[in-house]
Amino acid sequence: MTISVWRYSHLALAVSSFLLLVLASVTGIILAFEPVAAKTQPYNVEDLDKLTIAQTIPVLKKKFAEVTTVTIDANDFVTVNGIDDNGESVTVYVNARTGETLGTPQKKSEFFQWVTSFHRSLFLNELGRFFIGLTAFLLLLITISGIALIIQRQRGIKRFFTKIVRENFFQYYHVQLGRLLLIPVLLIALTGTYLSLVRFKIIPDHKVTQNIDFDKIESDPQKDLSQFAIFANTPLSQVREIEFPFSEDVEDYFTLKLKDREVTVNQITGDLLSESVYPVSVLMTELSLNLHTGRTSAIWAIVLALASANILFFIYSGFAITFKRLGGRTKNKYKKDDCEYIILVGSENGTTYKFAKALYQALLKNGQKCFVTELNNYTTFAKAKQILVLTATYGLGDPPANSKKFLQILEKTPQPHPVHFSVLGFGSKSYPDFCKFAFDVHQSLSMQPWATPLLEIHTINDKSPVAFGEWMELLSAKIELPLNFSVDSLAGKPKRLHDLTVVKKTLVKTEDGSFLISMKPDKRLRFTSGDLLAIYPANDYRERLYSIAKVNNHIQLSIKLHQHGLGSGFLYNLQEGQALKAAVDRNPHFHFPSKVPAVFMICNGTGIAPFLGMIHNNQKKTETHLYCGFRASASFELYQDPIGKELQAGNLKTLHLAYSREADKQYVNDLIRRDQETIAQKMQEGAVIMICGSLAMQKDVLEILDEAFKRINHKEVSYYQSHNKILMDCY
Ligand X SMILES: Cc1cc2nc3c(=O)[nH]c(=O)nc-3n(C[C@H](O)[C@H](O)[C@H](O)COP(=O)(O)O)c2cc1C
CB of 469 to ligand X, least distance (A): 16
Q: Is 546 exposed, middle or buried (0-12, 13-18, 19+ CB in 10 A)?
A: buried
CA distance 238 to 235: 6
CA distance 125 to 128: 5
Q: Is 351 exposed, middle or buried (0-12, 13-18, 19+ CB in 10 A)?
A: buried
* The only residue of 244, 253, 371, 426 in contact with ligand X, by rule CB under 6 A: 426
267-286 footprint of ligand X as x/- string (CB under 6 A): --------------------
Binders of ligand X among residues 150 to 209 (CB under 6 A) are: 153, 167
90-129 footprint of ligand X as x/- string (CB under 6 A): ----------------------------------------
Q: What is the number of the residue whose Cβ is closest to ligand X? A: 427
Binders of ligand X among residues 299 to 358 (CB under 6 A) are: 347-352
What is the DSSP secondary structure assignment for residue 582, as one 8-state letter? E
321 CB contacts (<8 Å, ≥6 apart)? 170, 171, 174, 349
* The only residue of 292, 463, 505, 550 in contact with ligand X, by rule CB under 6 A: 463
Size of the site for ligand X (CB under 6 A): 23
First to last CA, the chain: 35
Please identify, using beta-carbon distances, which residue of 198 and 392 lies nearer to ligand X.
392
Closest CA to 375 of 398, 351, 348, 405: 405
Please identify, using beta-carbon distances, which residue of 27 and 347 lies nearer to ligand X.
347
Does residue 610 bind ligand X (CB under 6 A)?
Answer: no
Interface stretch with ligand X, choices 33-41, 189-197, 432-440, 474-482 (CB under 6 A) = 432-440
CB of 604 to ligand X, least distance (A): 21
R_g over Cα of the chain: 36
CB of 420 to ligand X, least distance (A): 24
Please identify, using beta-carbon distances, which residue of 460 and 483 lies nearer to ligand X.
460
Please identify, using beta-carbon distances, which residue of 433 and 646 lies nearer to ligand X.
433
Interface stretch with ligand X, choices 127-135, 421-429, 561-569, 580-588 (CB under 6 A) = 421-429
Please identify, using beta-carbon distances, which residue of 340 and 716 lies nearer to ligand X.
716
Please identify, using beta-carbon distances, which residue of 81 and 322 lies nearer to ligand X.
322
Interface stretch with ligand X, choices 26-34, 176-184, 424-432, 647-655 (CB under 6 A) = 424-432
381-410 footprint of ligand X as x/- string (CB under 6 A): -----------xxxx-x--x----------
The dihedral built from the CA positions of residue 371, 373, 379 and 385, taken in this order, carries a sign that is positive
CB of 465 to ligand X, least distance (A): 12
Task: Judge whether 5 and 141 are in contact, CB under 8 Å.
Answer: no
Closest CA to 621 of 648, 591, 644: 648
Binders of ligand X among residues 476 to 535 (CB under 6 A) are: none
What is the DSSP secondary structure assignment for residue 384, as one 8-state letter? -
CB of 395 to ligand X, least distance (A): 6
Task: Judge whether 216 and 187 are in contact, CB under 8 Å.
Answer: no
Q: Give the dihedral of Cα atoms 475, 478, 480, 485; nearest 10 deg.
A: 10
CB of 148 to ligand X, least distance (A): 14
* The only residue of 184, 427, 530, 605 in contact with ligand X, by rule CB under 6 A: 427
Does residue 434 bind ligand X (CB under 6 A)?
Answer: yes
What is the DSSP secondary structure assignment for residue 214, as one 8-state letter? G
Pairing of strands 370-374, 386-392: unpaired
Q: Tell me, what amino acid is at 322?
A: T
CA distance 659 to 633: 7
Please identify, using beta-carbon distances, which residue of 263 and 344 lies nearer to ligand X.
344
Task: Judge whether 7 and 150 are in contact, CB under 8 Å.
Answer: no
Interface stretch with ligand X, choices 85-93, 133-141, 357-365, 433-441 (CB under 6 A) = 433-441
Does residue 64 bind ligand X (CB under 6 A)?
Answer: no
Helix H, strand E, coil C: the string for 118-154 is HHHHCCCHHHHHHHHHHHHHHHHHHHHHHHHHHHHHH
Please identify, using beta-carbon distances, which residue of 53 and 435 lies nearer to ligand X.
435
Closest CA to 716 of 393, 394, 427, 397: 397
The dihedral built from the CA positions of residue 184, 185, 189 and 195, taken in this order, carries a sign that is positive
Please identify, using beta-carbon distances, which residue of 324 and 715 lies nearer to ligand X.
324
Binding region for ligand X (CB under 6 A): 153, 167, 347-352, 392-395, 397, 400, 426-428, 431, 433-436, 463
